[in-house]
Amino acid sequence: MKEEYDFTDAEQGKFYRPVEDLEIPIYVDKHVQKVIASVADKQNKSISELVNTLLKNDIDIAQSLK
């Protein structure tokens, strides 16, 4: 390690990414993925759109049961 480093041309926060902007990979069973892909294709949606719709519906159901 050097005694001193020159940060004159450094850019603060160059690689900073807010947590809200991070995309989390989610892994599902192959069978689930095939079924979701098939349904998404029939509904002319992306897999992400369909999964988000299904999860939002599940959240609504879970909250209504409280």
Question: Of the ranges 23-32, 33-42, 49-58, which one carries the lowest mean pLDDT score?
Answer: 23-32
Identify the band that residue 50 occupies on the pLDDT scale cut at 50, 70 and 90.
Answer: very high
- Does the structure show a pLDDT above 80 at 10? yes
Query: From the DSSP assignment, how many helices (H) and strands (E) are in the chain?
Result: 2, 0
> Which CATH number applies to 21-64?
1.10.1220
How many Å apart are CA 53 and CA 21, to the nearest integer?
20
Residues 25-37 as b/e (b if ≥16 CB within 10 A, e otherwise) read eeeeeeeeeeebe
Could you state, in order of their start, the residue ranges of all structural domains in the chain? Answer: 21-64
Calculate the CA 45 to chain-centre distance: 17
